[in-house]
Structure 1
Amino acid sequence: MKNTPIYVEISIDSDIEEVWKATQEPHLHEQWDLRFSSISYLPRVDDQPQEFTYCTNIGFGMKVEGWGRSVGEFHSEDGSRTSSLHFGTEQAISIIREGKGYWKYQPQPESVLFLTQYDYQVNFGRLGSWFDRLIFRPMIGWATALSFDVLKRWIEKGENPASQFIRFFSYWLMTILFSGIWIFHGLGPKIYAMHPAEISMMRDAFPMDLSTAKDMLISMGILEVSLGLCWILYKKRKNLFRLQVLLFPLFILELFIANPSYMIHPFSPLTFQLSLWVLSLIGLWISHDVPTASSCKRRRTG
């Protein structure tokens, strides 16, 4: 089955010269494009395409280094521009072997439509094709779209790409953390184990018989698992941060009223709840205007 080329499009409220500069000059390009750690132009030979090298850090001290060349630029009469690229790498570790693509800059009344389309050949035969189709191609398409949104915000609002990426990854780390915490504490100590300490805290807070306490514990476990799933499925996560900013102080107050001795237990619930409350405050603060790949158009029309 033939792969669909990667296509990403976004409208940037700026003039074409500024977008061109931010995407064509290597020291600017490498700041906003998540796909590259560094880009360096090689000395240009007269009447030859501009060649460059790139490097992408992939973690654990490993990196992929490759080559590229600007195979042509076209400036049309309507003011649009197109820049075509040929790229590849000789490193066997890279899923990409060689590819081609282009960037297009289309002036609009008060903005620039910036788009790219590219495709590539892969290494590792059928296994590489399978991995590319199911994992790598969706991932690099997403990284391209996220990078375009970071570029847009940099040009329109002046926010440095590095600070945008810090906010983005911090936001998602907190999302995964809170989801995991709620699901674990709902399923583990409450629903699966019905831990005696959980039952004891329940009965201290709300006097009831053992059977009722167990039923209440299961109900609370289901609510916590549901909240954990909301962190993954619900898009307006800023509301979840707000909810937690209100909930965690109430949990602390409830524990104190039920039995003040819980506050000095090893791995005290007090410090645990306070830590989550502070993280919720930080999350609420950084969750404003987080970069997103969803702001880009991912399919060509027409």
Structure 2
Amino acid sequence: MGRTDLYVEARIRADLDAVWSHTQEPSAHQRWDLRFTEISNLPRAEGEPQRFRYATRVLPFLTLAGTGVSAGEKESPDGTRTSALRFASPHPLSLLAEGSGYWRYLPDGDGVRFLTGYDYRPRWGRVGALVDRLVLRPLMGWATAWSFDRLRLWLERGIRPERALFNWLAELAVRALVVIVCCTGLGVESALRLLGPFAASGAYLCPLLLAVAICVALFKEPLAGTPAARRCLRRPPTRIRAPRLLRTLENPR
């Protein structure tokens, strides 16, 4: 893998060791990463790369699982750390067949530039390629960025991943409610009742106010305690190459 198709970068104001432990330890990783429901390390011999199992619950009755192999380079002369992995899922319903990627941890003043680049091969032939381009790949990019921001909130503000998810769902529900109320005409009726004797003159102003309310609900920056994919960089500032460490890993089977 040379230049990866998916790239996400977040700047986290936290200690490098804290970012490393929260991303390398499976029990912590599975809490903030929306893409996985379960991650567990498999037994390994001394000196071998770490193998792991991952699972994603797509529906209450459907869980897609796979295996992977990873290796980490904890120290380098400039203080950068790197983790590389290859992964594969044999499940016939998993559109994602196999792939590879890396994480980089770059010291940056009082924080860390935490970034990832990865790519994968979809299955199901041309149909799978089309579904991947239109649905899965954009969704994976968004989920990665959203998860990185959830990790940032955990390390910077002490907001637990479970609480961050609740904040996101609650804010999403409020925004959706505002749009529904404004679009169904209920918003107009409520606004006119509040205006009371000025309702007649306010009838001309209500549509404008409702349009403003809809725009705020749709486009306003999420609250500080709510994870948001938009806070992450989605394109590399310069040409990025996968680390040499990735070439040492064999494909998991």
TM-score by length of 2: 0.81
2:213 maps to 1:184: no
Aligned residues of 2:23 and 2:29 also touching (Cα < 8 A): yes
2:247 maps to 1:300: no
Q: Structure 2: how far apart are the matches of 1:131 and 1:300?
A: 25
Q: Structure 2: how far apart are the matches of 1:42 and 1:62?
A: 23
**Matching residue of 2:241:** none
Q: Structure 2: how far apart are the matches of 1:33 and 1:120?
A: 18
- Equivalent positions of 1:246-285 (< 5 A) are none
**Matching residue of 1:115:** 115
Aligned residues of 1:5 and 1:119 also touching (Cα < 8 A): yes
Please state how far the C-alpha of 1:87 moved relative to its aligned partner.
0.7
Distance 1:60-1:225 versus aligned 2 partners, 3 A rule = farther
Pairwise CA RMSD of aligned residues?
2.7
Q: Structure 1: how far apart are the matches of 2:206 and 2:127?
A: 42
Q: Structure 2: how far apart are the matches of 1:57 and 1:21?
A: 24
Aligned residues of 1:8 and 1:145 also touching (Cα < 8 A): yes
**Matching residue of 1:267:** none
Please state how far the C-alpha of 1:104 moved relative to its aligned partner.
0.6
2:146 maps to 1:146: yes
Q: Percent identity?
A: 38
Q: Structure 2: how far apart are the matches of 1:207 and 1:20?
A: 60
Please state how far the C-alpha of 1:224 moved relative to its aligned partner.
6.9
Look at both structures and tell me which one has the larger radius of gyration over its CA atoms.
1
Aligned residues of 2:56 and 2:63 also touching (Cα < 8 A): yes
Q: Structure 2: how far apart are the matches of 1:297 and 1:130?
A: 25
1:226 to 185, 193, 211: 211
Q: Structure 2: how far apart are the matches of 1:180 and 1:231?
A: 13
1:290 to 219, 226, 236: 226
SS in structure 2 opposite 1:121? strand
Q: Structure 2: how far apart are the matches of 1:93 and 1:135?
A: 15
Please state how far the C-alpha of 1:206 moved relative to its aligned partner.
5.8
Q: Structure 2: how far apart are the matches of 1:223 and 1:207?
A: 16
Distance 1:151-1:159 versus aligned 2 partners, 3 A rule = same
Q: Structure 1: how far apart are the matches of 2:116 and 2:178?
A: 36
| Amino acid paired to 1:177 | L
Aligned residues of 1:101 and 1:117 also touching (Cα < 8 A): yes
| Amino acid paired to 1:38 | E
Structure 1's unaligned 5+ residue stretches are 191-197, 238-286
Aligned residues of 1:186 and 1:220 also touching (Cα < 8 A): no
| Amino acid paired to 1:292 | A
SS in structure 2 opposite 1:75? coil
Number of aligned residues: 232
Q: Structure 1: how far apart are the matches of 2:18 and 2:164?
A: 19
Higher strand share: 2
CA deviations 1:202-257 (Å, max 9, x no partner) are 8xx6699xxxx8x987x5774475256324444157xxxxxxxxxxxxxxxxxxxx
Distance 1:216-1:23 versus aligned 2 partners, 3 A rule = closer
CA deviations 1:139-182 (Å, max 9, x no partner) are 11111111111111111121111101110111112211221121
SS in structure 2 opposite 1:18? helix
2:171 maps to 1:235: no
Q: Structure 1: how far apart are the matches of 2:50 and 2:180?
A: 48
Structure 2's unaligned 5+ residue stretches are 239-253
2:37 maps to 1:101: no
Distance 1:221-1:99 versus aligned 2 partners, 3 A rule = same
**Matching residue of 1:24:** 24
| Amino acid paired to 1:20 | W
Higher helix share: 1
| Amino acid paired to 1:226 | A
Aligned residues of 2:51 and 2:70 also touching (Cα < 8 A): yes
SS in structure 2 opposite 1:168? helix
**Matching residue of 2:132:** 132
> Comparing both chains, which one has the higher relative contact order based on Cα–Cα distances under 8 Å and sequence gaps of 6 or more?
2
SS in structure 2 opposite 1:34? coil
SS in structure 1 opposite 2:102? strand
CA deviations 1:229-288 (Å, max 9, x no partner) are 324444157xxxxxxxxxxxxxxxxxxxxxxxxxxxxxxxxxxxxxxxxxxxxxxxxx45
Aligned residues of 2:68 and 2:87 also touching (Cα < 8 A): yes
CA deviations 1:19-77 (Å, max 9, x no partner) are 11000000111111111111011111233211111111112422211111104536311
